[in-house]
Amino acid sequence: MKVLLPYRQPFAGAPLWGALRAHTVSGLEHHDPDSGTHTRVVNGRHGPALVSVAVHPDQEHVEAHLTPAHPSDVEALTTTLRRWLDLDPDPLPIDAALSRHPRLASLVELRPGLRRLGSVGGFETAVLTVLGQQVSLASARTFGSRLVSAYGRPVHDGFLAFPTPEALAARSTEHVRSTVGLTGARARTVHALAVAAADGLRLDADTDPADFRAGLLALPGIGPWTADYLTVRVLGDPDAFAPDDLVLRRALGVRTGREAADVAQAWRPWRAYALFHLWAEEAF
């Protein structure tokens, strides 16, 4: 089923698609560099769906092809895709506000209409973030692929759905550690996250931000940076912020998260977009 997802110009698609390509987890996703089509599994109410998205800038829409588990899932899946790719905001007031700040003006001019990469599922994004802590991006992708291959569910055309919290919680920490190749501490964090999510820890986009952050910080191995990063990615708050992010602090020439937060006060209520501009500067 083809669905057109319109957006408002300008639209800086290249950084967004570059982030999708850089974080592609084999088995769960596939990125075609020639066509720019990104294909992945997205969970729907009745089960996993296979979704492909491609940007058509001349027609001002993202073209999505959906293979849902049930036709009634299409509306909710469309909402998830729009949130994931940040297609709803009007970029003009965001760009105008951030352009007033010297550190950001040139970045906005270079990438007008930059969007925030969101999430198709809070649990998935949380686990993949934990897997990527203190390792290279290539290693994080490898760990993610091993996890999906071992515990994921077959969907279509060789794609696998991300493991459910229940599937990971049912395995021992040692099984997760040895299967994925993690350190003991990292495996304990993944397993604790799965157990908590299976027991009702809410990691959805509509979760109360204070509850979201507190629930994550209560888990072993999850600190302020991880909780803040997931708030930015999962909740979709345009003012969400990660003051302890290393790239951010380096870009601002400050030593502490408190100093970064002080500088970023001037960017409110668009701190998440400022953060993505600085991340894009580092990546490109």
Average pLDDT in the 33-38 region?
Answer: 94
Distance CA 117, CA 60 (A): 18
**What confidence tens digit (pLDDT) does each residue in 99-120 have?**
999 999 999 999 999 999 999 9
Residue 77 contacts by C-beta under 8 Å, 6 or more apart in sequence?
A: 42, 44, 49, 51, 66, 68
> Closest Cα partner for 62 from 74, 50, 54?
54
Average pLDDT in the 228-253 region?
Answer: 96
SS3 label, residue 62: strand
Pick the CATH number of 2-88 from 3.30.470.20, 3.40.1080.10, 1.20.1090.10, 3.30.310.20: 3.30.310.20
Answer yes or no: is pLDDT of 284 > 80.
no
Distance CA 258, CA 30 (A): 39
Report the first-to-last Cα separation within the chain, whole angstroms.
Answer: 34
Q: What is residue 58's predicted lDDT score, i.e. its pLDDT?
A: 84
Distances (CA, A) of 157 to 69, 161, 179: 14, 12, 24
H-helix segments, the chain: 13-22, 74-85, 91-98, 102-110, 122-131, 137-151, 165-169, 173-180, 184-198, 209-217, 224-230, 246-252, 257-264, 271-283
Average pLDDT in the 14-23 region?
Answer: 95
Domain ranges of the chain: 2-88, 122-235
Residue 106 contacts by C-beta under 8 Å, 6 or more apart in sequence?
A: none
Q: What is residue 283's predicted lDDT score, i.e. its pLDDT?
A: 84
DSSP 162: P
SS3 label, residue 48: strand
User: Among all chains, which residue has been given the structure tokens 């089923």?
Assistant: 1
Average pLDDT in the 243-271 region?
Answer: 96
Q: For the CA atoms of the chain, what is the radius of gyration?
A: 19
- Its CATH class, for the domain covering 122-235, is mainly alpha
SS3 label, residue 200: coil
Distance CA 200, CA 211 (A): 12
